[in-house]
Amino acid sequence: MKVAIVLSGCGVFDGAEIHESVLTMLALSCAGVPYQCMAPNINQAHVINHLTGQVTEGENRNVLVESARIARGEIIDIKNADSHDYAAVFFPGGFGAAKNLSDFAFKGSACQIQPDVLHFAKAMAAAKKPACYICISPTMIPRIYGQDAKLTIGNDQATAQAIEAMGGEHIDCPVQEFVVDAERKLVSTPAYMLAQNIAEAAAGIEAAVEATLAMIATEART
């Protein structure tokens, strides 16, 4: 029962949120579930100096190469990933999910998903395999699952309105909990959209991972 983890770079402001990524890996590892990290082989939208919060002019970084930092080098190009090989998929947050995996950070409800990411995510959805979206990454759900998909990013009103403009059904959710769309086998949790520290992020992520793995177990019994 191997699962996929889709990363979007390395660093909260321009890539995958490191705490969320590692907490997801830790929860899976503690449950005895092997995972494969993957990311698109594309340039980042931009590079942010995480000390100053400013864009670093003239610097380019690759999403797959940067994601390899978190994955300790054990990562593949999502373009080469076969959905048949995975029982579920996990999308940690960080602005990379909204800048590199999609362009939600720039275009809001008019956003599109990076083609290789969209192809893999839609293949998992078509196979009715469970998916867990964390933090800001649930903004991609309406583009993948269509109208009325239930999800949460916490309670940020502007983001929730953009999600609903895309056809999603946003549900307010506290940091330690998660929202389930049972019909689509979707789990989402706010993590650092609300978390004030790593312990709060961990509580919701661990619960969401457990719920996602329970869906796999249920599927295996049917």
Which residues does the annotation mark as catalytic? 135
How far apart CA 135 and CA 193 sit, in angstroms, is: 5
Contact 5, 38 (CB under 8 A): yes
CB contact set of 210 (below 8 Å; sequence gap of 6+): 27, 31
In the chain, the amino acid numbered 138 is P
191 DSSP 8-state letter: G
Beta strand extents in the chain (DSSP E only) = 3-6, 35-39, 75-77, 89-91, 131-134, 150-151, 169-170, 179-181, 186-189
Residues whose CB falls within 8 Å of the CB of residue 34, separated by 6 or more in sequence, listed in order: 1, 2, 3, 28
